[in-house]
Amino acid sequence: MTTYILFTIKYYYGPDIVHYVPFYETIQQPKDILNGNYNGIFEIGYAFFCSVIKQIGISFWGMTAIISTIYFIAIYMLFKQIPKRKTFALLILVILDHILIFSTYRQCLAVSCFIFMVLSFWKKKILLSMIWCVISVTLHKSAIFISIPALLLLNITSIKVDRHIYSALILILIAMLAIPASDSASAIIRLLPLDNETIRSITHHLSLARNIQMIFIIYMLYMIAIVYYRSIRYTNTVTEKHFRWIILAGALIIVALYQYYYILNRIRSYLLPFLITYIFIIVNERKSILCGASANIRSAANIIRQTAILATLVYCVHFSISLYKSQKNLKGNVYATSTILELHNHSEEYLKKRQIRTAQIYWAYDFMHNNNNKIQQ
């Protein structure tokens, strides 16, 4: 509940409010959008969502609070499957995906719908899962590359995913530390049927490739945990049946896009909650078996688990310090605290103008000079 409140009381927060606020304030009526007269800059699903919310008299902040509420409901429903340490799982999620929760409203909605889609499919509510898939795609373009393939893969139950596949992915991930980032990805993007602005944005982010990233340790340790704990025989096949394709897809995407962290951070948001849930589940499920295992097996399991936990905590501290330091170099500090509690001392109009002006400075100076890239991933 505390985490939910902290993310929900944000007020005109983040760099993208320069686009989101004017869009919300000038959004067309719901009937105009449904009649095919929509001419906005964002996806039609997000436009309709905003139009309905505004139609009933809810402010821009209220709209962002609703998005946060929907997201945390989705996470709550997914994390109910984690038997222990849900708080630690949530800590990992909000550290790795705080930008999504704080300021990328469209994708946050799309990710929420993706989670609802998978949960509905697991409950054998196929029609409902298809509806969630369509909604997700209409909210953010990135969902096209995740929601539709995921829904198709979830229907494949006859093929088993061998743990050795993850071992191979670990080796490829290690190789990514030395393999130079290639321009081939940008060339492929230019061949896709995307508008020029989208292509420009993607190719810009691809140009920010980086081999050495601190989060590499987290990725590698979590994959090692998957390999090791999957090697311990367990009779419960429900977890494997539900998660196998989601987890494999997440691992493949992390390895393939590891160097292109800006793009990866966008795509992994859909799968990260499932990766975290799966790891916490299999570690807990295998505990009872480990009690009767040899001392060497128990020792190895403890080392892997404790090393992963320690590395995660170190990364969380490191990332928080790096984020704090990076803010000092921003002319437009869009990450400075801005909450609805400030209405006690300032008017809504003042806070809105202040935050939008800060975001404009950020885009004009900080983003163009890549100061935001100084945060160590």
Same domain for 319 and 336, yes or no, is: no
Residues contacting residue 150 through CB under 8 Å, at least 6 positions apart: 114, 117, 118, 245, 246, 249, 270
Residues 297 and 358 in one domain: no
Both 16 and 99 in a single domain? yes
Give domain status of residue 138, yes or no. Answer: no
The answer to whether residue 153 sits within a structural domain is no
Q: What is the dihedral of CA 68, 93, 89, 326, to 10 degrees?
A: -120
Q: Is the pLDDT of residue 357 over 80?
A: yes
Residue 292 pLDDT:
58
Q: Count of alpha carbons within 13 Å of 109, Cβ hemisphere only?
A: 23
Clarify whether residues 303 and 232 are in a common domain: yes
Residues 298-315: tens digit of each pLDDT? 778 788 888 888 888 888
Question: Distance between alpha carbon 228 and the CA centroid of its chain, in Å?
Answer: 25
145: exposed, middle or buried (Cβ count in 10 Å: 0-12, 13-18, 19+): middle
Tokens (6 digits) for 121: 């499919």
Report, as an integer, the average pLDDT of 267-284.
88
Asked whether the beta carbons of 94 and 88 are under 8 A apart, the reply is: no
Q: Which is higher by pLDDT, 257 or 158?
A: 257
Whether 124 maps to a domain, the answer reads: no
- 278 shares its domain with 250: yes
CA atoms of 50 and 54, how far apart (whole Å): 6
Q: What is the pLDDT of residue 376?
A: 42
Token pair recorded at residue 213: 């990233």
Domain residue limits at 341: 1-103+331-377
Contact assessment for residue 362 and residue 331, using Cβ atoms and an 8 Å cutoff: yes
In tens, the pLDDT along 363-377 reads 888 776 654 444 444
Percent of the chain topping pLDDT 90: 31
- What does the CA dihedral 351, 357, 359, 365 come to, rounded to 10 degrees? -150
Q: Is residue 370 left, alpha or beta, with left meaning phi > 0 and alpha meaning psi from -120 to 50? A: left
Identify the domain boundary among 313, 328, 343: 328
- 149 in any annotated domain: no
Structure tokens at 3: 């985490």
Mean pLDDT (the chain, rounded): 84
Greater pLDDT, 319 or 128: 128
Greater model confidence, 187 or 57: 57
What the block records as the tokens of 118 is: 């998978």
Report pTM. Answer: 0.86
Asked if residues 315 and 215 have their Cβ atoms less than 8 Å apart, the reply is yes
pLDDT of residue 119 exceeding 90: yes
Residues 85 and 233 in one domain: no
Q: ∠ CA(127), CA(130), CA(135), 5° rounding?
A: 130
pLDDT value at position 65?
Answer: 94
Per-residue model confidence as pLDDT tens digits over 205-225: 666 677 778 888 888 888 888
Within a domain: 141: no
**Does the residue 111 lie in any domain?**
no
Q: What is the phi/psi pair of residue 9, to 5°?
A: -80, 0
- Predicted local confidence at residue 290, as pLDDT: 63
Residues 347 and 318 in one domain: no
The band of 325, judged by pLDDT with boundaries at 50, 70 and 90, is confident
Question: Domain count of the chain?
Answer: 2
What average pLDDT score do residues 112-132 get?
A: 94
* 232 and 314 co-located in one domain: yes
**Based on the domain organization, do 99 and 165 belong to the same domain?**
no
Does 337 lie in the same domain as 313? Answer: no
Residue 95, pLDDT score: 86
pLDDT band per the 50, 70, 90 thresholds, residue 118: very high
Q: Are 351 and 11 in contact (CB under 8 A)?
A: yes
Q: Residue 72 has what pLDDT?
A: 95
Residue 191 and residue 323 in one domain: yes
Q: Which of 311, 328, 345 is the last residue of a domain?
A: 328
Q: Is 140 left (phi over 0), alpha (psi -120 to 50) or beta?
A: beta
* In a domain? residue 317: yes
Residues 235 and 90 grouped into a single domain: no
Q: Which residues contact 213 (CB under 8 A, 6 or more apart)?
A: 258, 261, 376, 377
The DSSP symbol for 286 reads T
Mean pLDDT of 17-24: 93
